[in-house]
Amino acid sequence: MNIKKIICLGCPLACNINVEINKDEIMRVRGAKCKVGKKYAIQECKEPRRVLTTTIRTTEADRPLLPVRTGDSIPKESIAECMKIMSKKIISPTIKAGDIVIENISGTGVNVIATGNLFGSEK
């Protein structure tokens, strides 16, 4: 029996959760104070996922980087490949907050979206 210790990020309680694992089967989840915590702990043991936030280069000299994030969480093991793809991307000046910058990044089914406006935050 293996015990994996997890701090839940699902809500502000940040529960300390212990997940008992036998081979690849989850036997018991202890310490979660809500359903979100239990679900988070199971997900973290089976397939950890993260929302990726970063910047992408632009063609604008006065605003060389645009903040972006994945529209949903991606498998943790895909982060390096996604960062490699984003490091090669250069954005044009027509992008605004909420626009899709990269569709289905690395085959994850998740889009990368702009979280800021390239042409100025007032527009």
Strands 49-50 and 53-58: unpaired
The residue among 39 and 92 whose pLDDT is bigger is 39
For residue 86, the surrounding DSSP H or E stretch is: helix 79-88
For residues 27-39, average pLDDT: 94
Helices (H) and strands (E) in the chain, counts: 2, 10
What is the pLDDT, as a whole number, of residue 121? 45
What is the pLDDT, as a whole number, of residue 102? 97
The model's pTM: 0.80
Average pLDDT of the chain, as a whole number: 92
Residues of the domain holding 17 = 2-46
> Is the same domain home to 59 and 30?
no
Give percent of the chain above pLDDT 70.
96
> Is the same domain home to 28 and 78?
no
The full 3-state SS of 8-41, as one line of letters, equals: CCCCCCCCEEEEEEECCEEEEEECCCCHHHHHHH
Please, are residues 33 and 17 in contact by the beta-carbon 8 Å criterion? Answer: no
Domain-embedded: residue 123: no
> Is the same domain home to 78 and 95?
yes
